[in-house]
């Protein structure tokens, strides 16, 4: 299966989150997995989107994370920093029942989105509602929705979904409105719902990304206080992708 045409098509369709995690999927050696092949076939149909749904129940889940591949083939090399026991425990889902959060940090391309989406799809299979959002796009959506009924509806969805995946946190500093929106989301979720957040930055640098010290303290208290942590390292897995001709 040609990986790059699929990546190009997903990006052209505006499905950047799926494209990113698909690239990590291929780099993890899962390009021939049935879910990855299904995604490639769908990407070949112009304009077709793939909201993935739980097969464990009759009602669709709000799950738009990319296919995780076979988690049994996940790489647990010591130099990568992924603890097998911790990841298997997270797949069990008790942390979601306890309304804990999860922070996945590490350099670009080491598999943060792949792991987050693997956990998201497992939650879907366990009959939980899951929503994947890239942080930059989420704040843009909230800004566009502000002032009409879409804003309140989007905030309700973000607050009530059982597992919220916030991908690519910390790419740029937050402005005043983004700080307010994020605090409102986390206030609704704290102690009631679980959140996965991925970032190239270590948790120690998040305070600076938020900017305002008062907001930063409030946001991180709700996000990090009860969070499990995975800190990945190593070279980008995308280096294993085939080069374009």
Report DSSP letters for 72-135, one per residue. Answer: GG----GGGT--HHHHHHHHHTHHHHTT-EEEEE-STTSSHHHHHHHHHHHHHHTT--EEEEEH
Rounded to whole angstroms, the Cα distance separating 239 from 234 reads 11
Rounded to whole angstroms, the Cα distance separating 121 from 11 reads 21
Rounded to whole angstroms, the Cα distance separating 2 from 243 reads 10
- Work out the number of other CB atoms within 10 angstroms of the CB of residue 34: 11
Q: How far apart are the first and last CA of the chain?
A: 15
Give the distance, in angstroms, between the CA of residue 53 and the centroid of all CA atoms in the same chain: 16
- Residue 198's nearest CA partner among 11, 24, 8 is 24
pLDDT at residue 242 above 70?
no
Q: Coil, helix or strand for 103?
A: strand
- Residue 116's nearest CA partner among 5, 20, 202, 49 is 20
Q: How many CA atoms lie within 13 A of 55 on its CB side?
A: 2
Rounded to whole angstroms, the Cα distance separating 63 from 53 reads 6
What was the pLDDT predicted at 183?
A: 96
What was the pLDDT predicted at 84?
A: 83
Tell me the backbone φ, ψ of residue 155, rounded to 5 degrees: -60, -40
- Residue 139's nearest CA partner among 155, 153, 123, 125 is 155
Average pLDDT in the 18-47 region? 63
Structure tokens at 144: 């566009």
- Residue 4's nearest CA partner among 22, 28, 18, 17 is 22
Higher-confidence position of 139 and 7: 139
Rounded to whole angstroms, the Cα distance separating 102 from 96 reads 10
Tens digits of per-residue pLDDT, 66-92? 445 445 555 555 446 688 888 889 999
CATH class of 51-240: alpha beta
- Work out the number of other CB atoms within 10 angstroms of the CB of residue 238: 16
Rounded to whole angstroms, the Cα distance separating 189 from 212 reads 21
Contacts of 74 (CB under 8 A, 6+ apart): 28, 82, 87, 115, 118
Tens digits of per-residue pLDDT, 153-189? 888 889 988 999 999 999 999 999 999 999 999 999 9
> What pTM, to 2 d.p., does this model score?
0.70
Domain boundaries, the chain: 51-240
């Amino acid at each position: 299966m040609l990986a790059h045409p699929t990546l190009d098509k997903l990006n052209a369709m505006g499905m950047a989150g799926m494209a990113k995690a698909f690239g990590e999927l291929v780099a993890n050696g899962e390009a021939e997995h049935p879910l990855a092949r299904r995604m490639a076939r769908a990407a070949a149909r112009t304009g077709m989107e793939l909201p993935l749904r739980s097969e464990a129940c009759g009602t669709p889940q709000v799950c738009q994370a990319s296919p995780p591949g076979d988690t049994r083939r996940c790489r647990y090399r010591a130099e990568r920093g992924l603890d097998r026991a911790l990841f298997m425990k997270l797949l069990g889902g008790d942390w979601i029942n306890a309304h804990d959060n999860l922070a996945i940090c590490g350099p670009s391309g080491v598999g943060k989105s792949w792991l987050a989406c693997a956990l998201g799809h497992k939650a879907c299979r366990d009959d939980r509602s899951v929503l994947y959002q890239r942080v930059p796009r989420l704040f843009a959506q909230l800004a566009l929705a502000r002032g009409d009924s879409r804003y309140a509806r989007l905030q309700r969805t973000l607050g009530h979904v059982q597992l919220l995946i916030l991908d690519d946190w910390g790419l740029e500093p937050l402005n005043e409105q983004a700080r307010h929106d994020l605090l409102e989301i986390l206030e609704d979720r704290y102690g009631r719902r679980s959140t996965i957040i991925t970032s190239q930055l270590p948790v120690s640098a998040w305070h600076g990304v938020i900017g305002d010290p008062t907001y930063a303290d409030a946001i991180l208290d709700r996000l990090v206080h009860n969070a499990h942590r995975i800190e990945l390292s190593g070279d980008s897995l995308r280096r294993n992708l085939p080069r374009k001709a």
